Chains A and B, each alone.
Chain A
């Protein structure tokens, strides 16, 4: 059964985004659906070569959105102790 905490909504710019957490190949990804017409986005946290964490899109190509939305997800997770 799906955990309701795995789905949440956040404000993003002028609209809302609906985020769903999934586990794919034993890794956590976040599927983001926008309230406007743009395509859904998948983001995940990754490691740079100097061991710092950053948000990235899967597949490549939507890095700016990943970097904007990722920190919102982090804040939500921390606030809700998920």
Chain B
């Protein structure tokens, strides 16, 4: 007889529970409802195996870590900025959560990964902020400060979908810690996302299955990689709903919330 959580169970049941434990450990990062980019946490990523015929689902750190970063302390300075101890000047944070699809081969940081290390980021949906400029009651002109409304965007017909990504291996030169990190590739906003993410008019490069598989398994040249990176997912297959401004703290992050002063989106 064996014990699981203090209960006497059969040997077979013990093995079953232990196997379940092992399976859950592998997929634990899939059960997160919400991944916040600036927390630089782990996300589920499809990484092609060396033979380029199959892939593995692995946890990777969101926020591409360039090879020239030496250790975690340097990485923290890179990501969050601060006063440079050598120059005494303030270094601005460098954000590598997203990589502009049209410029992948113009950026030294991303060029090699775009050619050699493309991946797919599993997502069940994402969040963006819509900026609305209220009108001045006296003049009728828009105010300078926007009111921001969060939206949850997903594909109602798909539990998960793929975002194009690029990844890179990195080793902390002080501790030997090995990490794989990634950046989500972005493209110009489609008709729906132009209205939601109206400040930047960008969206993640979401790929259908054919393009997703071509992206990670295909022997592609710069032109084709850039074409795929610029793909706009059809707006009519996407859904965007406004959600509560405190959605991050909410139990259900995706619960729709209607604002009386928020104009409706034009349906794609």
- Smallest beta-carbon distance B15→chain A, Å: 12
Chain B neighbourhood of A59, CB < 8 A: 21, 24-25
- Smallest beta-carbon distance A55→chain B, Å: 10
List which B1-46 residues lie within 8 A (CB) of chain A.
Answer: 1, 4-10, 13, 16-17, 19-21, 23-25, 27, 31, 33
A1 near B9: Cβ-Cβ < 8 Å? no
List which A19-65 residues lie within 8 A (CB) of chain B.
Answer: 20, 22, 24-25, 27, 29, 31, 33, 35, 40, 42, 44, 46-49, 54, 56-61, 63
Measured as residues with beta carbon below 8 angstroms from the partner, the interface class of chain B is 20 to 34
- Smallest beta-carbon distance B10→chain A, Å: 5
- Smallest beta-carbon distance A60→chain B, Å: 5
A9, CB-defined interface residue at 8 Å: yes
A69, CB-defined interface residue at 8 Å: no
Number of interface residues of A (CB under 8 A): 31
A25 near B13: Cβ-Cβ < 8 Å? no
If over half of A's interface residues share one DSSP class (helix, strand or loop), that class is named, otherwise mixed; here it is strand
Number of A-B contacts (CB under 8 A): 73
Indicate the member of A17, A24, A40 with the most B CB atoms within 10 Å: A24
- Smallest beta-carbon distance A1→chain B, Å: 6
- Smallest beta-carbon distance B194→chain A, Å: 26
A1 near B156: Cβ-Cβ < 8 Å? yes
Chain A neighbourhood of B219, CB < 8 A: none
Residue of chain B at shortest CB distance from A27 = B20
**24 intermolecular pairs with C-beta atoms under 8 Å apart:** A1-B159, A9-B252, A17-B251, A18-B251, A20-B31, A22-B31, A24-B23, A27-B16, A29-B24, A40-B31, A42-B24, A42-B31, A44-B17, A46-B17, A47-B13, A49-B10, A49-B13, A54-B7, A58-B21, A59-B24, A59-B25, A60-B21, A63-B6, A63-B7
